[in-house]
Amino acid sequence: MTSYPELKNKIILITGANSGIGLAQATAFLQQGALVTGLDQNVDQMQLLGEKFPDFTYAQVDLTNLDELILALNSIEKLDILVNTAGILDDYQSIEQTSFEQWTKVLNTNVSTMFNVTKLVLAKINSDGVIINTASIAGMVAGGGGIAYTASKHAVIGFTKQLALDLAERGIRVNGIAPGCIDTPMNAKDFENGGLIASQVAKEVPIKRWAGADEVATVTLFLASAGASYLQGTIIPVDGGWLIK
Ligand code: NAI
């Protein structure tokens, strides 16, 4: 893995750090010597990560519960890098199949928690800080999710661009990542029953395979690094070519 000495001792907050992409991002930053805090509603994997890396701290929090979130963020005094990654899928449900309750849950989890976390820690982010939001190819085109997921990820990209514009003069860099088909617990269903759906999906990807979560983490490290100093409001697809079709 590429080494980024400038990330050593950086104070980093990552949501959704107990699984998949968030877990890989937390691991990658810890390997660079950063001081990482993870937030997630589940803690089993974060607990294991903490046993391996003493510089990792974590809290169990339902990000959609504002009181819990405020409590969890209280202990953070300052921050160099915020990585908003927690999110949920909508099982590719159409508008007819989506109840208002399900719509609200997906929008709350994927968009409103990103707004709340960012708003609550903004004053603590250093003047040369970095914010990285996890969007999706579903934030750029239709078909990467159902009605609620696609709407939520388009909102994440809009949020990221406006935040980047608003914070640019303060020196805070804001960018996003749009993953494609990443093999994480979120997509576990596709790999069931011999993985027929997973192999059909892989055939739709120009490079003909799923990615590992570590392949999103490496791009996250780059976005946090000094090498990305002129990137502002950019959404980087990590999609094996999905969006060029
Ligand atoms: P995952 O399901 O493996 O991990 C998501 C994590 O977010 C879980 O640990 C979960 O507990 C946490 N989380 C969800 N709702 C929460 C809540 N209310 N409070 C606290 N924690 C909560 O999923 P994965 O694949 O790692 O996804 C991470 C992000 O990447 C998501 O925003 C997802 O939409 C996005 N993404 C994933 C893709 C994929 O193919 N896996 C493709 C495009 C985007």
Residue 230 annotated among the catalytic residues of the structure: no
The CATH number corresponding to 5-182+212-244 among 3.40.50.300, 3.40.50.720, 3.30.450.20, 3.20.20.70 equals 3.40.50.720
* pLDDT at res. 1: 81
Contact 191, 183 (CB under 8 A): yes
Give the Cα separation of 28 and 72 in Å (integer): 23
Task: Give the predicted TM-score (pTM) of the model.
Answer: 0.98
Per-run averaged pLDDT (10 residues), the chain, 245 residues: 96 98 98 98 98 97 98 96 98 97 98 98 97 98 97 99 98 98 97 96 98 98 98 98 97
10 closest CA partner among 126, 109, 143: 126
Q: First CA to last CA across the chain, in angstroms?
A: 30
* pLDDT at res. 178: 98
* pLDDT at res. 118: 98
Angle at 59 between CA 185 and CA 102, to 5 degrees: 50
Which of 58, 62, 84, 88 for a ligand 1 pocket mutation test, highest count of atoms within 8 Å of Cβ? Answer: 88
Contact residues of ligand 1, CB 6 A cut-off: 16, 18-22, 40-42, 62-64, 85-88, 109, 134, 136, 179, 181-182, 184-187
Phi, psi dihedrals of residue 185, rounded to the nearest 5°? -55, -25
Contact 91, 106 (CB under 8 A): no
Among residues 4, 92, 149, 230, which one is catalytic?
A: 149
* pLDDT at res. 218: 98
How far, in Å, is the centroid of ligand 1 from the Cα of 223?
19
Give the Cα separation of 137 and 143 in Å (integer): 9
